[in-house]
Amino acid sequence: MEAFEQHISSMETKLKENVKEEKEGTKKVTKEEIKASFQMLEEEFKKKTVLLDETRQAHNNLEQYTRKNRVRLFGVTVAEDEMSTPERLAIDIFKEKLRVEIEIANRDGKFRPEGKHAERGRERS
């Protein structure tokens, strides 16, 4: 986006220089040349606007639709004497029982084996 703005700014500067040179009589610029230059700027602007809209839509799609491939697990408990983590336990269950390879991409919240709100589904009072 910044490169686009610089490009437009540079073209504006050139157009202003041409108009100035025409007024001073140092360069002959016709109205047709100015119109052509302006139309070229307009077309470039329209193309960049369309590209920006497409990029925004692609970004939105990435944010919206990448979540469809995620699995969220609740209530996975690990025995105190077990050396495994909840993540490792979930991976093993998917691998052994469902024959599906998964990886841990993100975890929501802290793992609290003990405490007031240890279970996620439990109502807080």
Q: Where are the domains of the chain?
A: 2-68, 70-106
- pLDDT tens digit sequence for 50-108: 999 999 999 988 887 776 667 777 777 777 765 667 777 778 888 888 888 877 766 55
Per-residue pLDDT at 18 exceeds 80: no
Per-residue model confidence (pLDDT) at position 43: 94
- Residues in the chain, how many? 125
Residues whose CB is less than 8 angstroms from the CB of residue 108 and which lie 6 or more positions away in sequence, other chains included: 72
Average pLDDT, the chain: 77
Residue 37 near residue 18, CB atoms below 8 Å: yes
Residue 92 corresponds to which amino acid?
D
pLDDT-derived band at 40 (thresholds 50, 70, 90) equals very high
